[in-house]
Amino acid sequence: MTRSVQELLDRFDRLADSEKHEAASEILQRVRRLDLDPITDDDLILSAEEMFLELDRSEEANERA
């Protein structure tokens, strides 16, 4: 992930829930207009793996707290 994307996501995480909803809706509308290649199975597997690893880290942090 590039630094600019990470910064964007970090800023998104700091938004209020209503602002997150607004931003997500706008991003989804813009993505629909892009001419993107289909998502591959490998891309989906990598994304799922990243999500599960992040969930594991979060659960581990919560157990320590």
Classify residue 15 as left (phi > 0), alpha (psi -120 to 50) or beta. Answer: beta
> What pLDDT is attached to residue 6?
94
R_g over Cα of the chain = 15
| Mean per-residue pLDDT, 53-60 | 92
Q: Which amino acid appears at position 25 of this protein?
A: S
Distance CA 57, CA 36 (A): 31
Domain parsing of the chain, residue ranges: 1-34, 38-65
**What integer pLDDT is reported at residue 65 of this predicted model?**
82
- For the segment 43-50, the average pLDDT, to the nearest whole number, is 94
For 6-43, the pLDDT digits (tens) are: 999 999 999 999 999 999 999 999 999 999 888 899 99
